[in-house]
Amino acid sequence: MERRFHSNLLYNKIWYAKMNVLVIAAHPDDEVLGVGGTIARHADEGDSVYVVILAWGIASRYEARLVSQQMESINNATKILGIKETILIGFGRRQKRFDELPFIDIIKPIEENIQRFKPDILYTHHRGDTNMDHQIAFRATINAARVISPYLVNKILCYETLSSTDQAPPF
């Protein structure tokens, strides 16, 4: 959905229709590295931005201290970028990669959050990312937002996570 604007001739002002924005990220900080500036702009324009992080991004072998540091980082990013809510699904606590999980288990929480937030715009990883979890997150998002879903997403945009996609061969 393109940003709709309306002119209020009485007050000579232009106001924008507010949008719901949903960002799907495979791991914590993917949303910041990939689409952080866009998130901040949406929030500055008054849009409601929600982020779904699918996996912890760390394995259960790490100390509890690192888990709490990661949660603090997620909370800080949520505040700084103006995100209304960040949901951590929490895959990966038992050192499982996305390709070791049933695909439907990844799709379901994305579907549920699409129904919950009813986004006008949905951002997800680019399908050409070299990180396998990012590729699977892309596929799961596209499946969750398919046309037969009860809620139709107007626009799906992909973002690049430079820390992993910059290692891809030139195609």
For the segment 110-127, what is each residue's pLDDT rounded down to a tens digit? 999 999 999 999 999 999
C-alpha dist (Å) from residue 153 to 85, 140, 156: 19, 14, 7
CATH of domain 18-161: 3.40.50.10320
Tokens of 155: 């626009």
Helix pair 132-144, 103-117: axis angle to 10 deg: 50
Strand-pairing partners, residue 124, are 158
For the segment 131-150, what is each residue's pLDDT rounded down to a tens digit? 889 999 999 999 999 877 67
Edge to edge, the sheet with strand 20-25 lists 85-91, 48-55, 20-25, 121-125, 155-159
170 exposure class (CB count in 10 Å sphere: 0-12, 13-18, 19+): exposed
Q: What is the pLDDT of residue 67?
A: 73
Residue-level pLDDT, tens digit, the chain, 171 residues: 555 555 444 444 455 679 999 999 999 899 999 999 999 999 999 999 999 999 876 654 556 667 778 888 889 999 999 999 999 998 766 556 777 888 999 999 999 999 999 999 999 999 998 888 999 999 999 999 987 767 889 899 999 987 655 565 555
Domain coordinates in residue numbering, the chain:
18-161
Quote the distance between the C-alpha of residue 141 and its chain's center. 10
